[in-house]
């Protein structure tokens, strides 16, 4: 895939994302909001899993922390659940910050454990989160959850009022439309920061730690600190994603932030291809919209039975498709969807190459890093294959 | 005092059953390097087979079929899926097992529906009295069976060719392979063993005082994960000790919930995970886990 084609493709996708709200109905707008919230969380997780090689099943905890921090700090005091009544913009920042701090507090474990061992340890956080959410009633509203203050900047609210009527090209922009643009901006910002992080000194250090901790340490990288950094950044992303989810739902309850959410985040990045930021976004689209769309249109699909009849209902079918998709990608697609895409692009780009060199391996997560044993005297630097 | 003893006895019995599940995690992990997230659905599949078959063929025959079925299921997962992974590393294998778990659990949940299928065990709701402690027979039997199985495991790993081959394969797969040990066989044996142990644990978890087989039984495997982790990832002894620690801590937290009210309701559910996090803070590789040696 040559650079101009990539650019044009990106610009077209952006235009589509900007124009879509004018065409879609409320169901699709709502689905889009959930997808974009998930994209932010998935990008954060792919930095941790794909780049630093650390597994986390605790992202539901950080998402919950972000969501409840937003709801608590932005909420009005005096309702059933307490609130600080801070400006929503500040609350959104605090949501990311609180998750980052919690991630840092977990550093004695996240800095020392590696890979799947860390994944298992983080499962504990999810159960801890549920306990806190149910019991800290004054902040969380307990088992039934609490309402979420809608987002606003001074003079403009991302809800159906203030300004009461706002229209573009004859389409009235209600709360869902306005949130769509907010979420789009946040998701693009998240992707931009992540891309830059991956290409920075820190990002290369993370990739080096993933491939060989010994080699990384020998090159002067503080391995424990690199792992903690990845975990903290990833937690902050999850916190923001949680706050966005809270805004999209309008009301949050403990059931939203179960272990299933952690697994969903993980599945998104695996389907998309570990370490790929675009892949994480594609994975999020699939994982989030599949059950929503199947349920919405279940009455139109002849092979689906009504829920509870013992046949294949929409929820069951979407779970089965979801599980089968994971297995199929892991068995047949190296590097997930992003890996397959890159291989296709590589093949078309490599075809006219007359140099006679043996084809390099297709660019995928593991391919762009330093050799495990750096040759003496030659400072090998990790290099991205895609600029 | 007798209240405390009852709680302890309950905790020990529960802990031993958790140990059965946790040992399955250890065996699969050492034999094939897979973090078996589908362990819970294999357990549920075994228990489901027993509960469905027992009205027609009787409990003992059904139990035999259920245990064999779960073992076979494990072997199949290993042979068909795990060995065909595009990228064989622990991370992708773990996520593959998440996918398998989703498939199995969805199908089993659909089959079970809203029912709670009774286990129909011959000991029913009997209780045994021992030194002033009253315990459901199923719980006492569970502890007994678990101890016998642990002894059998020790015999297997210490005294039989198969067991020694499995240990050798776990310690160093490449060398074991050069010595003529077939890694495909030791892997299959590990999965079969783990599946059978899970089914046995499932039978006890679904019999009295539990009402029967329901999809939530699969979640009990998650409670065994802290036991496995805090025992150390690759130690069978660690898994048993971890199971006991988690079992007793949970039973005490549930039994004294009124006194522990400050910590919130349902505190018993988080105790295993709190214990795990605390142990990992002090010993990152668990109580009995082998430290990863790094040579430069």
Select from A114, A128, A330 the Cβ nearest to the Cβ of B99.
A330
Identify the band that residue A20 occupies on the pLDDT scale cut at 50, 70 and 90.
confident
Nearest to B228 by CA among B204, B198, B208: B198
User: Can you give the pLDDT at residue A76?
Assistant: 77
The answer on pLDDT for B68 being more than 70 is: yes
Nearest to B139 by CA among B152, B122, B126, B149: B126
Strand partners, A153: A156
B-chain CB neighbours of A332 within 8 Å are 86
Of B98 and B263, more confident:
B98
Identify the band that residue A361 occupies on the pLDDT scale cut at 50, 70 and 90.
very low
Q: Do A115 and B222 touch (CB under 8 A)?
A: no
The answer on pLDDT for A160 being more than 80 is: no
> Within a domain: residue B221?
no
User: Can you give the pLDDT at residue A24?
Assistant: 80
pLDDT tens-digit profile of B2-39? 788 888 888 999 999 999 999 999 999 988 888 899 99
Of A368 and A339, more confident:
A339
User: Can you give the pLDDT at residue A167?
Assistant: 67
Of A244 and A153, more confident:
A244
pLDDT tens-digit profile of A68-117? 999 988 887 666 677 787 888 898 999 999 999 999 998 888 888 877 78
Q: Do B96 and A330 touch (CB under 8 A)?
A: yes
Q: What's the rounded Cα separation, in Å, for the pair A281 and A261?
A: 16
* A339 close to A273: Cβ distance less than 8 angstroms: yes
Q: CB neighbours (10 Å) of residue A289?
A: 18
Q: What's the rounded Cα separation, in Å, for the pair A40 and A47?
A: 11
Select from B99, B102, B264 the Cβ nearest to the Cβ of A131.
B264
B-chain CB neighbours of A115 within 8 Å are 90-91
* A63 close to A237: Cβ distance less than 8 angstroms: no
Q: Which residues contact B11 (CB under 8 A, 6 or more apart)?
A: B247, B248, B249, B250, B251, B252
* CA dihedral over A110, A116, A122, A124, signed as positive or negative: negative
Of B32 and A382, more confident:
B32
Q: What's the rounded Cα separation, in Å, for the pair B296 and B293?
A: 10
Q: Name the residue of chain B whose CA is nearest to A113's CA.
A: B284
- Angstroms from B122 CA to nearest CA on chain A: 30
Q: Do B106 and A326 touch (CB under 8 A)?
A: no
Q: What's the rounded Cα separation, in Å, for the pair A66 and A97?
A: 8
Q: What's the rounded Cα separation, in Å, for the pair B72 and B78?
A: 10
Select from A136, A267, A319 the Cβ nearest to the Cβ of B106.
A319
Peptide bond into B209 cis (omega under 30): yes
Percent of chain B whose pLDDT exceeds 90: 39
Q: What's the rounded Cα separation, in Å, for the pair A325 and A359?
A: 30
- Angstroms from B133 CA to nearest CA on chain A: 31
Q: What is the domain extent for residue B123?
A: 2-214
The answer on pLDDT for B293 being more than 70 is: no
* Range among A61-70, A278-287, A372-381 rated most confident: A61-70
- Angstroms from A294 CA to nearest CA on chain B: 16
Interface probe, candidates A48, A108, A117, A374, chain B, greatest B C-beta count within 10 A? A117
Interface probe, candidates A327, A340, A373, chain B, greatest B C-beta count within 10 A? A327
Look at residue B197 and give its three-state secondary structure.
Answer: helix
User: Can you give the pLDDT at residue A65?
Assistant: 93
- Angstroms from A26 CA to nearest CA on chain B: 30
The answer on pLDDT for A365 being more than 50 is: no
- Report the half-sphere exposure of A69 (CA within 13 A, side-chain side): 29
> Within a domain: residue B32?
yes
* B84 close to B100: Cβ distance less than 8 angstroms: no
- For chain B, the distance separating the N- and C-terminal CA atoms, rounded to the nearest angstrom, is 56
Nearest to B229 by CA among A57, A259, A134, A59: A57
Scan residues 16-35 of B and list those with Cβ closer than 8 Å to A: 35
The DSSP H or E segment spanning B176 is helix B173-178
* B138 close to B208: Cβ distance less than 8 angstroms: yes
Identify the band that residue A138 occupies on the pLDDT scale cut at 50, 70 and 90.
confident
Structure ipTM: 0.84
Q: Which residues contact B292 (CB under 8 A, 6 or more apart)?
A: A114, B285
A-chain CB neighbours of B264 within 8 Å are 131-132, 134-136
A-chain CB neighbours of B216 within 8 Å are none
Interface probe, candidates B86, B108, B271, B274, chain A, greatest A C-beta count within 10 A? B86
Say whether residue B76 is in contact with chain A using an 8 A CB cutoff.
no
The answer on pLDDT for B149 being more than 90 is: yes
- Angstroms from B112 CA to nearest CA on chain A: 9
The answer on pLDDT for B287 being more than 90 is: no
Average pLDDT, chain A: 80
Interface probe, candidates A116, A263, A364, chain B, greatest B C-beta count within 10 A? A116
Q: What's the rounded Cα separation, in Å, for the pair A91 and A70?
A: 5
Q: Name the residue of chain A whose CA is nearest to B113's CA.
A: A310
> Within a domain: residue B155?
yes
Report in angstroms the alpha-carbon separations of A120 from A55, A266, A291, B89.
8, 13, 27, 16
The answer on pLDDT for A351 being more than 90 is: no
> Within a domain: residue B230?
no
B-chain CB neighbours of A112 within 8 Å are 284
A-chain CB neighbours of B249 within 8 Å are none
> Within a domain: residue B265?
no
Strand B133-136 and strand B127-130: the pairing is antiparallel
Say whether residue B100 is in contact with chain A using an 8 A CB cutoff.
yes
Select from A115, A124, A135 the Cβ nearest to the Cβ of B273.
A124
- Angstroms from B84 CA to nearest CA on chain A: 6
User: Can you give the pLDDT at residue A360?
Assistant: 44
What number is the average pLDDT over the span A283-302? 82
Identify the band that residue B125 occupies on the pLDDT scale cut at 50, 70 and 90.
confident
A-chain CB neighbours of B103 within 8 Å are 320, 323-324, 327
Q: How many domains is chain B built from?
A: 1
* B292 close to A133: Cβ distance less than 8 angstroms: no
> Within a domain: residue B19?
yes
Identify the band that residue A369 occupies on the pLDDT scale cut at 50, 70 and 90.
very low
Say whether residue B110 is in contact with chain A using an 8 A CB cutoff.
yes
Q: Name the residue of chain B whose CA is nearest to A365's CA.
A: B87
């Amino acid at each position: 895939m040559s650079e101009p084609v990539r650019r044009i493709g990106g610009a077209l996708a952006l235009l589509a994302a900007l124009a879509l709200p004018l065409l879609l109905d409320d169901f699709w707008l709502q689905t889009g909001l959930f997808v974009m919230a998930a994209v932010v969380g998935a990008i954060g997780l792919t930095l941790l899993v794909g780049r630093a090689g650390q597994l986390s099943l605790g992202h539901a905890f950080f998402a919950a922390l972000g969501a409840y921090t937003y709801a608590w700090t932005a909420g009005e005091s005096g309702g059933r659940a307490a609130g600080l009544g801070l400006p929503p913009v500040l609350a959104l920042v605090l949501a990311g910050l609180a998750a980052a701090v919690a991630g840092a507090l977990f550093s004695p474990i996240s800095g020392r454990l590696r890979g799947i061992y860390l994944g298992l340890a983080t499962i504990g956080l999810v159960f801890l989160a549920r306990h806190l959410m149910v019991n800290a009633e004054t902040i969380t509203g307990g088992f039934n959850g609490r309402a979420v203050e809608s987002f606003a900047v001074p003079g403009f609210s991302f809800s159906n009022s203030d300004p009461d009527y706002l229209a573009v090209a004859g389409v009235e922009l209600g709360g869902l439309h306005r949130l769509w643009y907010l979420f789009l901006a946040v998701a693009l910002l998240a992707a931009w920061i992540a891309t830059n992080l991956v290409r920075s000194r820190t990002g290369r250090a993370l990739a080096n730690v993933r491939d060989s901790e010994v080699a990384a340490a020998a090159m002067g990288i503080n391995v424990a600190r690199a792992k903690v950094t990845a975990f903290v950044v990833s937690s902050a992303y999850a916190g923001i994603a949680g706050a966005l989810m809270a805004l999209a739902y309008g009301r949050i309850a403990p059931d939203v932030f179960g272990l299933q959410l952690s697994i969903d985040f993980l599945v998104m990045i695996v389907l998309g291809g570990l370490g790929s930021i675009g892949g994480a976004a594609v994975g999020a689209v699939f994982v989030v919209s599949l059950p929503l769309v199947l349920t919405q249109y279940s009455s139109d699909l002849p092979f689906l039975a009504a829920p509870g009849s013992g046949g294949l209902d929409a929820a069951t079918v979407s779970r089965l498709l979801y599980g089968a998709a994971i297995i199929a990608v892991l068995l047949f697609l190296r590097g997930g969807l992003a890996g397959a895409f890159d291989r296709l692009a590589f093949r078309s780009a490599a075809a006219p190459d007359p140099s006679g060199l043996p084809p390099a391996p297709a660019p995928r997560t593991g391919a762009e890093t330093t050799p495990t044993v750096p040759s003496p005297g030659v400072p090998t630097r990790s290099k991205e294959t895609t600029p | 005092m007798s209240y405390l003893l009852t709680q302890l006895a309950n905790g020990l019995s529960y802990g031993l059953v958790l140990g059965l599940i946790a040992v399955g995690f250890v065996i699969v992990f050492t034999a094939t390097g897979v973090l078996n997230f589908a362990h819970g659905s294999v357990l549920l599949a075994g228990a489901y087979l027993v509960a469905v078959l027992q009205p027609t063929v009787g409990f003992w025959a059904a139990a035999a079929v259920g245990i064999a079925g779960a073992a076979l299921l494990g072997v199949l997962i290993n042979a068909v899926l795990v060995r065909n992974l595009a990228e064989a590393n622990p991370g992708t294998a773990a996520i593959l097992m998440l996918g398998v778990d989703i498939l199995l659990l969805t199908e089993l949940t659909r089959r079970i529906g809203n029912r709670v299928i009774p286990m129909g065990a011959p000991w029913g709701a009997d209780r045994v009295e021992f030194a002033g402690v009253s315990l459901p027979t199923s719980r006492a039997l569970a502890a007994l069976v678990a101890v016998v199985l642990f002894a059998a495991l020790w015999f297997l790993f210490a005294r039989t060719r198969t067991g020694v081959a499995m240990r050798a394969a776990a310690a160093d797969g490449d060398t074991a392979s050069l010595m003529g040990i077939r890694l495909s066989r030791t892997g299959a044996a590990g999965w079969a063993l783990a599946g059978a142990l899970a089914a046995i644990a499932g039978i006890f978890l679904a019999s009295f005082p539990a009402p029967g087989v329901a999809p939530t039984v699969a979640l009990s495997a998650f409670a065994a994960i802290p036991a496995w982790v805090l025992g150390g990832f690759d130690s069978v002894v660690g898994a048993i000790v971890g199971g006991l620690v988690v079992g007793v801590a949970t039973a005490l937290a549930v039994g004294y919930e009124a006194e522990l009210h400050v910590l919130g309701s349902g505190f018993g559910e988080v105790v295993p995970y709190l214990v795990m996090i605390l142990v990992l803070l002090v010993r990152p590789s668990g109580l009995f886990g082998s430290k990863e040696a790094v040579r430069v």
